[in-house]
A and B are shown apart, each in its own frame.
Chain A
């Protein structure tokens, strides 16, 4: 038997988690739509930026906001270099990006373990200690910030992709690089910029999650798996379906864990994926790019 207070608590928790999934997913969608690549090192890239901000704050005593900015910068740099040094040099056959970024995932994770150790570290608070509501339903500043970020990114992202010159350029560069070049779009520069910008989103998501959990070399793995599942369900070639899926699966999983026990969360998610595959198989089989996603 559960109370309405608990129901709201579980829903708000799921909403906050889903908001952060949406923030991270936006970066994945951006990179996929511009360069048709899946970056499996996305999670560790955010993890390293988070660790960098943690080190700057706790070891060097830098102010929180500054440490966070530098951490985001580290992630942006790694993401941009991934495109400049790796993805650009790959032969055009499909599948190389998957293999190479998986290798990068292993490398970055091992690097983090080497430099920062294998233990979890308690991250910056990022408003988790600021209560917003605290009677029967407990909401803190980080929850509110997460939802604000998620909604802002979802709506703002749609606006940018559909109502700005930048969005037009991104779509053209993705669809036909020669046409894009013929109208003055610097396709290669734009692609690297998209990779770099995706770093901002995974860094913000990773830091927010670290504030709610902790930071270690592996913490982003289950998070990014869930984000990729949302992208797969909604389709990385689309916008609103995957973004809404990000919110949806977090709420779904939150409720599944509450109703069926914490151990029910992962199986519940996979049951959902199987049901969707059975109901809408064409989504995942028709287009090569989405099948790969």
Chain B
């Protein structure tokens, strides 16, 4: 069995799941390989439709990410439905707003599963909000496909109903820090991260990359929504690290960099995967030049034919160009539809069996996906890009980088 760090890029937002111990205790401790049973009851499947659902932040400070992912997924399903759907059935995809709040996510997921009777959870966006619903999904035995919720608790057989396609922050920051240390040999690194699991995982990843090397690490946990970044910028300037790693909301990242710039401190920077989105670069590009950004999805302007096809199809469906989160949502939908198509029958056990047999599935958008009877982490690689002007040219392509 591969020893995987649980992977899954997540959109960094609010507080971590502070009930980790309880949460871990509540999930299924062991699971045998899925056996397809075509005769079992299949909620959400009728002769004409397949009901899928997800909760995402559609309002609040994380709304940009959820709205984007929802739009991407919906565009894909619309395209599939126009071509006849899956197994002759139209996909009915419902997204409910969880406001990036664990409590609201729990409520909304109950609505989707118990009232709307969805067949499976398709996608999702955000870590603390998704983690809050995992115990419920495990109890109800509802498969969840490709949520964007990087967390080390997911992607193992402890959560067998959740099929992860995004790298967790430990791996993401380990790969990124390894590259920076090998290439630039910094004496000091600072990390500013959202307080809790998210920041802690990033810190672990950097520490793993440093290993027994001489680079020192300063870690400053942050709470989203501060109106004054001068104190934290001053702390960073005082430490005077060569590199500052960041895992904050995109707004807070930009505002912190502006504050650092204003007090005359401009180190090289590296940040989690959300920073290569045009909605970040447009307002904050001037203070982010040279930033190394983890890449979980292919660049929108990638020459990869599959990516070009996505851009063309998305633009045709919606009349506008896609951004990073639309790309993510599209990939989530594509993986879901692939599993539905491969399933021998439209029951949950058959869906899970189909997912387990997914091997080297290429979307072009994320690295090739492979699950297995004892493997729930479908992707374990990232790439790196650098912000230059308004573009993000590749530094290391994602298909070639593996976790160490």
Contact = CB atoms under 8 A, between A and B. Distances in A.
Interface of A: 2-3, 6, 9-10, 12-14, 17, 110, 113, 117-122, 128, 134, 138, 140, 209, 212-214, 216-219, 221-223, 226, 250, 253-255, 257-258, 261-263, 265-266
A254 B231 contact: yes
Interface of B: 59-61, 63-64, 67, 192, 195, 220-223, 225-232, 234-235, 237-238, 250-251, 254-255, 258-259, 262-264, 279-280, 282-284, 286
Given A6-B238, A120-B284, A212-B259, 19 more contacts: A13-B228, A14-B230, A14-B231, A17-B228, A120-B251, A120-B283, A122-B284, A122-B286, A128-B258, A212-B258, A214-B254, A214-B284, A218-B225, A226-B227, A254-B228, A254-B231, A255-B231, A257-B228, A265-B226
Contact of A3 (B220, B232, B238, B255): B238
Contacts of B228: 13-14, 17, 212, 250, 253-254, 257
Nearest to B264: A138
16 contacts: A6-B234, A9-B234, A13-B228, A14-B231, A17-B230, A119-B280, A119-B283, A120-B283, A120-B284, A121-B283, A221-B225, A254-B231, A262-B192, A262-B232, A263-B222, A265-B226
A223 B192 CA distance: 21
Contacts of B226: 222, 257, 262, 265
Contacts of A253: 228
Nearest to A117: B64
B262 A213 contact: no
Contact of A262 (B59, B60, B221, B282): B221
B238 A2 contact: yes
Q: 3 closest Cβ contacts across the A-B interface?
A: A13-B230, A122-B283, A118-B63
A257 B232 contact: yes
A263 B283 CA distance: 25
Given A113-B63, A122-B254, A134 B264 contact: yes
B234 A17 contact: no
A265 B254 contact: no
B234 A222 contact: no
Nearest to A123: B283
Contact of A119 (B64, B258, B259): B64
A251 B68 CA distance: 38
B230 A9 contact: yes
Contacts of A10: 230-231, 234
A9 B63 contact: no
Contacts of B250: 119-120
B237 A223 contact: no
A138 B263 contact: yes
B67 A118 contact: yes
Contact of A261 (B60, B61, B220): B220
B262 A262 contact: no
B62 to A, nearest CB: 8
Contacts of A12: 230
Contacts of A213: 227, 229, 251, 255, 258
Given A6-B238, A10-B231, A14-B228, A263 B221 contact: yes
B223 A262 contact: yes
A69 B296 CA distance: 43
A148 to B, nearest CB: 18
A223 B227 CA distance: 6
A266 B255 CA distance: 18
Contacts of B258: 128, 212-214
Nearest to A17: B228
A179 to B, nearest CB: 41
B225 A118 contact: no
Contacts of B284: 120, 122, 214
B255 A214 contact: yes
A46 to B, nearest CB: 13
A122 B221 CA distance: 24
A6 B240 CA distance: 12
